[in-house]
């Protein structure tokens, strides 16, 4: 006897697509995501489980850097498949007992989503059975003020994230949007930025002959100065 089985497959969101919507209970009350964050950049990130050491180090770091992200108009939202009371107990333990790399009495003020049913984790492709079928991998989604996914990063359970890079991504994306440029490898505010390729032979010729205020390594690869102060005055909230 032949049996028909149906497997529900949820494709993870892709760069350039709208972030999947959801409502959820968090340690800071209910949220309606991403609608209530319209106008702000958001980092939505998952961690495998409460009361685990790598996750603890990450949450302490994110909480310590929250003001820096806030100044760049970026909100933080965490998620794991643990329950709300576990979240609360873990965050209280972090504040009351954990001291790490000079960080102590760290209070996590950004919301941590309860996702026992894994509904949100599955919408965002955070459950990857090859790594674990019961825990979310360390996923990071950078979402812009229009609710569009702009960057996706995935880490295995054993690897803690680089938070300097997460902040650099937020600033670089905003810089690219604000100044219609691209950012080269290892770019930091103050470094030269890449000018979009020439759209015509005439423009390419002018660039190569030094008729525009930029440095061209070849017709397709030109950079220009963009002062750090200009970037930060545009990006950072006053």
- Residue 74 annotated in active site: no
Residue 168 annotated as lining a ligand binding site: no
Contacts for 114-122 with beta carbons within 8 Å, 24 or more apart? 114/24, 114/25, 114/26, 114/82, 114/83, 114/84, 114/87, 115/24, 115/79, 115/80, 115/81, 115/82, 116/81, 116/82, 116/83, 118/81, 119/22, 120/22, 120/24, 120/79, 121/46, 121/79, 121/81, 122/10
Looking at the chain, list the stretches that DSSP marks H as alpha helix, in order from N- to C-terminal side: 53-71, 84-97, 119-123, 163-179, 201-208, 228-235
Of the listed 55, 74, 216, 222, which one is catalytic?
Answer: 55
Q: Residues forming the annotated binding site? A: 138
List, by residue number, the catalytic residues.
Answer: 55
Binding site per annotation, positions for substrate:
138
């Amino acid at each position: 006897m032949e049996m028909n089985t149906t497997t529900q497959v949820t494709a993870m969101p892709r760069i350039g697509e709208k972030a999947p919507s959801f409502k959820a209970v968090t340690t800071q009350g209910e949220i309606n995501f991403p609608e209530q964050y319209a106008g702000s950049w958001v980092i939505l990130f998952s961690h495998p489980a409460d009361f685990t050491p790598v996750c603890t180090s990450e949450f302490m770091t994110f909480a310590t850097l929250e003001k820096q992200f806030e100044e760049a108009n970026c909100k933080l939202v965490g998620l794991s498949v643990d329950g709300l009371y576990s979240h609360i107990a873990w965050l209280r333990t972090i504040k009351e007992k954990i001291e790490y790399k000079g960080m102590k009495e760290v209070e996590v003020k950004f919301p941590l989503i309860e996702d026992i049913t894994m509904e949100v984790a599955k919408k965002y492709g955070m459950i990857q059975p090859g790594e674990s079928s019961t825990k979310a991998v360390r996923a990071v989604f950078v979402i812009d003020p229009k609710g569009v996914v702009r960057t996706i990063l995935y880490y295995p359970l054993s690897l803690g994230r680089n938070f300097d890079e997460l902040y650099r991504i937020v600033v670089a994306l905003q810089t690219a949007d604000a100044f219609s440029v691209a950012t080269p490898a290892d770019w930091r505010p103050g470094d030269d930025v890449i000018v979009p390729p020439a759209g015509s032979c005439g423009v390419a010729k002018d660039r190569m002959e030094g008729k525009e205020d930029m440095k061209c390594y070849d017709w397709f690869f030109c950079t220009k100065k963009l002062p750090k102060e200009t970037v930060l005055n545009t990006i950072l909230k006053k």
